[in-house]
Amino acid sequence: MFATLISTLLSLSFALSTCLSDVSIESWSSRAGIIKAGVVVSTDERSIAGRGIFATRDIREGEVVASIPSGLVLLGRGDDWAGEITNAVKGLKGGGGEQAGIGEDVRREWIDGWGGGGCKSWDDVCGCVGGEGAFVGREGLREMVRLRIEDRLEVFRKIGYLDESDLELYALVCSRACHLGPSWGEGAVGVIPLFDYLNHHDDPNRVNVGLESFGQVLSRTPEGPGRPDPGMMNERDMLIIAKKNVKKGEELLTSYVDKDDEGGDVRKIVTWGFSTLS
């Protein structure tokens, strides 16, 4: 599981997905602390969706191919503040919420994360993405986030949870607003989904990769020379683990939503993630 992103609110097609955009993704991911091993995000005609995660070498079953810092990860359930964040994102505002006892430090962390740094409220987040020279207004961003959250909640309602390991397979990696840099053109800003920015379904990609927290890996690994150092990561950092052998050049995630089935510019932004200024 591994897994971020507006000329007229856009004719978004993967004809716009160039090697430069791949570099932008890689650069942002690296700055965000996402570590990959043996995989690369690549715009490639071999990918059904135009861009995919490909193995750069043979990968063995059980091998960790990426890690995502806990600050970028939102679980579907299990974290006592997950409901509050969902609430806040849906309303694009801080405070309140259906769950009591959520610390202001947590709320500020997530507002700041969504806004790419320096934001004090959800209105600031809207302003960051819809600011000077940008291509999406506050209402557009509001709708975009609403669709992302509601779509994902609908997935949860449909699948249900069988056990804790099943839950982890459906863990979410949240989107972030950020400036994409000069390779995207002057003033280009985007909302970058991490794990689902490639427009993958959760199922059946579970056959290929699984999500586990570092804490889960530690808890099931006996003491000995092969056990990871508990201090190397936060226990909530999320690991993307190969669930089968993968050959060099093979695409790890292969189940996609057909981009031609999606209607509306905002929906495309939500699903595909990428846009640029003309």
Q: What are the residue boundaries of the structural domains of the chain, listed by start?
A: 14-272
Rounded to the nearest 5°, which phi and psi values hold at 177?
A: -85, 140
Q: Amino acid identity, residue 117? A: G
**Amino acid 59: pLDDT:** 94
* Contact criterion met (CB below 8 Å) for 273 and 14: no
Residues 210/63, Cβ–Cβ less than 8 Å: no
What is the model's pLDDT at position 85? Answer: 37
Low-confidence ranges of the chain (pLDDT < 70): 1-29, 31-32, 43-52, 70-207, 254-278
Which residues lie across from 44 on neighbouring strands?
none
- pTM exceeds 0.85: no
Q: What pLDDT, on a 0 to 100 scale, did the predictor assign at position 71? A: 56
Residues pairing with 41 in the sheet: 53
Whole-angstrom distance, CA of residue 16 vs CA of residue 222:
48
What pLDDT is attached to residue 214? Answer: 81
Question: For residue 108, what pLDDT is reported?
Answer: 60
